[in-house]
Amino acid sequence: MKLEMKDTPGQLVAALRPISDVGGNIVAVIHQHDRASHADTLGVQIVLEIDELRIPELVSRLKETGVSIQRIGEERLVYKETVILIGHLMHTDIADTVDQIDRTGFAEITELNIVMPAVQERSSARLIVRAVSRDDMERALEILRAVSKEKELLLIEPLDGAA
């Protein structure tokens, strides 16, 4: 979200406090002194993780502290990992494999690339998994591990995945 506040001491801290009060997690604070705009105001971009149900409460609390909100941009599936699957992907219903992640509500397969060399040979696929949080990514990978085991597919995970 992009905020505008008075450029006086203590204002930034005052603006950040409501975020933690409503259980939000601050990922980044980008502090911009924009000289072209009003000299007495400060533009700040804050990247945060928060349950979307808490957003209205945060907005009203920020307004109470005199901070004006210029823009709220939302990106739900902020965590991204790439995995590779090898095996009889079509025969084991790749659509179902993808759906097992998509129907969770907290993660999705956003990209799928399959290489199929010949009918009887094993195919290889690259899947991009996106998830709402780090924990959700781990849950999604756990589902993929179980599905791979059941369908006898080889799952290759990233090293820095939430293994």
For binding to other proteins (CB under 8 A), which residues are involved? 82-84, 86, 113, 115, 117, 122-126, 154, 156-159, 163
Q: How far apart are alpha carbons 111 and 76 in whole angstroms?
A: 16
Residue 5 contacts residue 69 (beta carbons within 8 Å): no
Burial class of residue 95 (count of CB atoms within 10 Å of its CB; 0-12, 13-18, 19+): exposed
154, two tokens: 């080889």
Q: Cβ 101 to other proteins, closest distance in Å?
A: 17
83, two tokens: 């995995």
Taking the least distance from each CB to other proteins, the nearer of 72 and 116 is 116
Taking the least distance from each CB to other proteins, the nearer of 43 and 161 is 161
Taking the least distance from each CB to other proteins, the nearer of 18 and 87 is 87
Q: Cβ 44 to other proteins, closest distance in Å?
A: 31
Q: Cβ 56 to other proteins, closest distance in Å?
A: 37
Which residues lie across from 41 on neighbouring strands? Answer: 6
